[in-house]
Amino acid sequence: MSDLPSEILQLTRLESLSMENGGFLSSLPSVIGSLASLTYLSIASAVSGGTIPSSFGRLKKLRHLNLDSNNLEGAVPPFLSSLTALTHLSLSGNKLDSSIPTKLKTLQKLAKIELTGNQLSGSIGPLTLLPRLDRINVAFNSLNSSLPASLGNLKRLSQLFLQGNAISGSLPSSISKLGNLIYLTLRANNISGSIPRGIGSLRNLKSFRDLSYNAISGSLPSTLGSLKSLIMLDVRSARLNGSLPTSLSKLKALEYILLSDNQLSSSFPGFLANISSLTMIDMASNEINGSLPSSLGAFSNLAKLDLANNSISGGIPESISLLTQMWNLYLAGNSLSGSLPASMSKLTSLESIDLRRNNLSGPLPPSVFNWTMSAVFLSENHFEGDLPAYLGDYPAEILVDSTLTCPLDGTNCSSQLKELAARVYSNGFCRVVCPSFCQTCIAPPADPSGGDSGGGDGGGLGGGLGGGGLGGGLGRGLGGGLGSSSIGEFGSSGGLVTSSRFGSSFGWLSNKEARKRGKRLH
């Protein structure tokens, strides 16, 4: 239907009208414009399309207007400028495709504007004429102009969300005037140039999130050390160079440093160890060099450390055993040497570790595998000696060098070892490390679906698992849990693979992180 029940239209003194999540209107009823006493109107996820009726411009007392998620098309109507009592305007999740009308400058009482998820183009310039704005959310549109210097006029602004547009140019120096700003998000635009030194004036800023996926260049300014409320520093996938300023050690509230995929150089910033709140450091894919400091263990609350794909050399310091809160440790693609410290067995919270493509050597300390992890990647190193037999008991994704010695020779096919073998089928222990033992002592598990279990043997190991086999490296076995849904490739030294617990997103990572991690696994 397109009209309201006639009974509602008789409520001439009605002040509040809310219709949400109904989907029962074919279009916005123009007769709502006759409810002149309305101060609050919310029609969200209730309309299948259409435009905003011009009659809405007659609601002079309206303070709150929410028309989110209604598939509305056309322009942001200039007649909204007549609603001068508005303090909250929300038109998110529609298909509005105009620029932001300059006529909206008459909405001098407006405090919050939500326009996210439309197809708006042009500039946010008209919004800078509304001095009472506290929140601007125009994320995920097609805004394609630069940020105006007049942005500095919004002295009350505390939240600015601009991610997912095509905003170009550099950050205006006037951004330093936004002294009440708490959240700033600029992710995935075309912003270039350097971060202005005046950013240090934003003393209330908690989240400098996110200059990621822009073309920001230069070094991080030392003035960032003045942002005492900062919790997250996120400038991934930009063009930053140089080293981290030592002034960052003053940020006692900082929890996340996310600076991967840049060109940062110098050594690992050990000076950050005095920030006890720090839980995540991601500086993967930079040009970090030197060795890991002996004081690494001072990062006592660190849960994730990602330094993959840098130029770090030397050994893994013994003090790493002090990182007892660590969940994820990624040091792949460096030049680390020496053996694994036996004290790493103390990292009992560790869920995943990736040390591939280094120069690590020596035997694998048995105590290290006290870990109860979901993923262990150790291939493309120079480990030697026996692989602990109980690796086969891991419900994990395991990638090791095929040069390691199998501790099982196939002469003892006890029931206990057969039980072990039933488990090792799921992580590739048979395929890579102990094929002779498995061929002698174990028959491939029956295919519960009744399908063909005679898939390719990938070099001697028969069996299909779900009709897909383990052939060619990993195949499609385990009912689809391997191959395309996980790593599905061997490293250059012939390592393996996986378990079906991971599915398409590796299980232990979010979907987004899994996709990113997947790009680094080879």
- The pLDDT of residue 494: 32
- The pLDDT of residue 414: 59
- The pLDDT of residue 503: 29
The secondary structure of residue 325, as a DSSP letter, is T
Lowest mean pLDDT among 49-63, 109-123, 327-341, 410-424: 410-424
Whether the Cβ atoms of residue 199 and residue 224 lie closer than 8 Å to each other: yes
- The pLDDT of residue 379: 82
Lowest mean pLDDT among 55-69, 203-217, 231-245, 447-461: 447-461
Q: How far separated are the first and last CA of the chain, in Å rounded?
A: 56
Please compute the mean of the pLDDT values over residues 142-146 and round it to a whole number: 97
List the beta bridge partners of residue 196. Answer: none
Which run of H or of E encompasses 395? none
The secondary structure of residue 364, as a DSSP letter, is P
Per-state percent for the chain, helix, strand, coil, to nearest 5: 25, 20, 55
- The pLDDT of residue 306: 98
Asked if the model's pLDDT at residue 464 lies above 80, the reply is no
Asked if the model's pLDDT at residue 515 lies above 70, the reply is no
Asked if the model's pLDDT at residue 406 lies above 90, the reply is no
Task: State the Cα–Cα distance between residues 114 and 509, nearest whole angstrom.
Answer: 31
Spatial CA neighbour of 125 closest among 143, 104, 148: 148
pLDDT in tens, 357-394: 999 998 877 766 556 677 788 888 888 776 655 555 55
Q: Delimit the domains of the chain by residue range.
A: 415-520
Write b or e for each residue in 28-44: b if 16 or more Cβ atoms lie within 10 A of its Cβ, otherwise e. bbeebbebeebebbbbb
Asked if the model's pLDDT at residue 465 lies above 50, the reply is no
Task: State the Cα–Cα distance between residues 76 and 65, nearest whole angstrom.
Answer: 13
- The pLDDT of residue 22: 76
Asked if the model's pLDDT at residue 16 lies above 70, the reply is yes
Task: State the Cα–Cα distance between residues 329 and 261, nearest whole angstrom.
Answer: 17
Please compute the mean of the pLDDT values over residues 308-317 and round it to a whole number: 98
Mean pLDDT of the chain: 80
> At residue 279, what are phi and psi to the nearest 5 degrees?
-115, -15
- The pLDDT of residue 380: 86
Lowest mean pLDDT among 64-68, 113-117, 167-171, 474-478: 474-478
Say what the pTM is.
0.75
